[in-house]
Structure 1
Amino acid sequence: MLYPLFFEPDYKERVWGGTMLQDKLNKSIPFKNTGESWEVACHDNGNSTIRNGSLQGKTLKEVVGTSSKELLGYEIDDNDKFPLLIKFIDAKDKLSVQVHPEDEYAKLNENGELGKSEAWYILDAEPGAKLIAGLKDNVTKDDFVKALEDGHLEQVLNEVEVEAGDVINIPAGFVHAIEDGILLAEIQQNSDTTYRVYDWNRVGLDGNMRELHVDKSLDVIDFEGKHSKDIVPGLSIKDGDNDIIYYVANKYFSIEKLGLKGTKKEDTHNKFIIYMCTSGCGEVIHNNTRYSFNLGDSFMIPASLGEFILEGDASLIKTYIPDIQKDIINELESAGYTKEDIMSRVRISQ
């Protein structure tokens, strides 16, 4: 029988990384340029390891292989790969300007890999810190190519100033970059496909210029401006003393923030749930057993567990694969929000 699973992350050294994962999240980082902590990962390029209970020392991939239905739920096919990749990212320096493909393009051009839609929750940001979020209004493909060739790509990129607590949605096709001085949580499809279109003329840790993927980037960039470039406002509801803010919901994942103040009863409804603790501490209670969590911990509630309790004083990012109507729209309408409220303040895509 499964139980709440806690993970040892897989750390990634990056030329733009730093020490904020240690300084802000109490992580034991292995590199002075630690850019990423793959918190819940089941990918050929990174695998997190279970740190608690009878499965301690096993990788998430091993548990998926032996207990797929129990872990993930019966709506996920046995042949499907683990659907999500959950990270913390420390951008001491700017990341490359990049874009990700949709599933169909990735399947054809990246050996069957998934596409990559993602979203970011800002944990910490230096004053004035910015993200690149999409293109400026009315930028055409020709405008983009000319700016790239002239070495002035910044002129066509849309910048957004951010602070702790902000959320931004990054669908496939959306040009983006994390700039310096930002620590964030990233929820994404389980894919490592990234097309770098511009890298600030920077060399990598090996001293060589990093590879760019300009042609593929131009194939997949959304030049029609289909996606919002704004910070996601979100909508909040109360559950006793607890606050829940709904931010993003699509066919790949949802993002909610739980402000836990005391006790909250939860139910998996046969869906796995992942939580990231971004402040405070608490406990998961299941079958009269208590599992402690602290700042920086990420943990997974297997789909088969059913009812469980969260207890403590903490902020938690919650993600799962939603039934958008039932899990998001109905909940918000029951709290008194109109469809117009929901569609304007939560990034929902079917």
Structure 2
Amino acid sequence: MLYPIFFEPDFKERVWGGTLLKDKLNKSIPFEHTGESWEVACHDNGDSVVRNGELKGKTLKEVLDNYSKELVGYKISSDDKFPLLIKFIDAKDKLSVQVHPEDEYAMKYENGELGKSEAWYILDAQPGAKLIAGLKDNVSKEDFTKALEEGNLEQVLNEVEVEAGDVINIPAGFVHAIEDGILLAEIQQNSDTTYRVYDWNRVGLDGNMRELHVEKSLDVIDFEGKHSKDVVTGLGIKDDESEIIYYVANKYFSLEKIGLKGKLKERTNNKFYIYMCISGSGKVVYNNIEYDFRVGDSFMIPASLGDYELEGDASLVKTYLPDIEKDVVSRLENAGYSREEIKSRVRIN
């Protein structure tokens, strides 16, 4: 019954959004300030709609209700949530300085919501574009609070210059912001919980100051410097003419990039996979049926499919729920990389 599933995007209007989702990803955006395209979502604030095949018109939640084990590889009960939320983000203007909670805090204070760890793949960036990634070294809670109160928060924030192809890991507790002139793909836990700690003193689309969450932010920010602030370099493995680059692998998701050249044989092994086409075009071949994709498309390979093939000339961001040792570390070791190289160049946590 199941097959490679393509989804209609769910667009979100944001004060900082622009038109790059149309200009770079061929999307028919509905707003002048389109900030987000929720590509694969099953959340109260956005539920993807299938655009192809027998399930066309069904929401992801409806598909899960009827085919959860076949779709994701395990049975989802009424209390469980689909684990991932996949987006494209266009930051014409800078986003708020923000932080996300871990699961335990979110469960307690956000009505059972999940925490939010995420990672970004930069698709396009204006020359000199920057992100805020963590705090400067040795910034304490007291330092941060004082800078916030005095209007000097930028002095304690760590900025990183980025360009197309860069990857940034954003664990829960990590202060961050996308600054202006950046288009990116975001892989994250299935959560819409964001604590804004600072918003550049601007008003929202409704003309009012946007809500801040300073107290909760101070509760969850990592002031111990546990997380790397660097761009993730990743490690690649060749597969014929194609290359798979491993960037992030944690208990919530992986982030990999496939440079597809020609044909690449894949197998689900009772896992579901989500792909975002970020350049070029190609097709998925399953059960002798071809499913075309192009830049801007996102699609899901259900866990029950088994063997399938990717074919074309394209770049794809790939995510799934990894067995870190089996799916990432062992594969990289078998390709000749040492544990030290893997630890330094892939964000495994």
TM-score normalised by length of structure 2: 0.99
- The answer on whether the counterparts of 2:68 and 2:75 sit within 8 Å (CA) in structure 1 is no
User: What amino acid is the match of 1:283?
Assistant: K
Rounded to whole Å, the distance in 1 between the matches of 2:219 and 2:268 is 39
Alpha-carbon shift at residue 260 of structure 1 (Å) = 0.3
Rounded to whole Å, the distance in 1 between the matches of 2:41 and 2:81 is 11
Unaligned runs of 5+ in 1: none
Provide the residue aligned with 2:108 in structure 1.
108
Provide the residue aligned with 1:38 in structure 2.
38
1:250 and 2:250 matched: yes
* Structural RMSD (CA): 0.8
User: What amino acid is the match of 2:342?
Assistant: I
SS in 2 for 1:25: coil
SS in 1 for 2:54: helix
Counterparts of 1:102-251 in structure 2, within 5 Å, are 102-251=102-251
SS in 1 for 2:184: strand
Rounded to whole Å, the distance in 1 between the matches of 2:159 and 2:255 is 23
User: What amino acid is the match of 1:22?
Assistant: K
Alpha-carbon shift at residue 48 of structure 1 (Å) = 1.1
- The answer on whether the counterparts of 1:100 and 1:194 sit within 8 Å (CA) in structure 2 is yes
Rounded to whole Å, the distance in 2 between the matches of 1:162 and 1:91 is 13
1:51 and 2:51 matched: yes
C-alpha distance after superposition, 1:305-327 (max 9, x if no partner): 01100000000000000000000
Provide the residue aligned with 1:63 in structure 2.
63
User: What amino acid is the match of 1:231?
Assistant: V
Provide the residue aligned with 1:263 in structure 2.
263
C-alpha distance after superposition, 1:179-205 (max 9, x if no partner): 000000000000000000000001000
C-alpha distance after superposition, 1:108-138 (max 9, x if no partner): 0000000000000000000000000000000
Alpha-carbon shift at residue 76 of structure 1 (Å) = 6.0
User: What amino acid is the match of 1:330?
Assistant: S
User: What amino acid is the match of 2:258?
Assistant: L
Question: What fraction of aligned residue pairs are identical, expressed as a percent?
Answer: 80
User: What amino acid is the match of 1:148?
Assistant: L
Q: Which runs of 4+ in 1 moved over 3 A?
A: 75-79
Rounded to whole Å, the distance in 2 between the matches of 1:311 and 1:325 is 28
Give the count of matched residue pairs: 349
Rounded to whole Å, the distance in 2 between the matches of 1:122 and 1:287 is 33
Provide the residue aligned with 2:96 in structure 1.
96
Alpha-carbon shift at residue 343 of structure 1 (Å) = 0.5
Rounded to whole Å, the distance in 2 between the matches of 1:74 and 1:36 is 29
- The answer on whether the counterparts of 2:64 and 2:76 sit within 8 Å (CA) in structure 1 is no
Rounded to whole Å, the distance in 1 between the matches of 2:76 and 2:232 is 28
Alpha-carbon shift at residue 74 of structure 1 (Å) = 2.4
Provide the residue aligned with 1:339 in structure 2.
339
C-alpha distance after superposition, 1:14-33 (max 9, x if no partner): 00000000000000000000
User: What amino acid is the match of 1:135?
Assistant: L
- The answer on whether the counterparts of 1:115 and 1:189 sit within 8 Å (CA) in structure 2 is yes
Counterparts of 1:9-48 in structure 2, within 5 Å, are 9-48=9-48
Rounded to whole Å, the distance in 2 between the matches of 1:26 and 1:264 is 25
Rounded to whole Å, the distance in 2 between the matches of 1:29 and 1:77 is 34
User: What amino acid is the match of 1:341?
Assistant: E
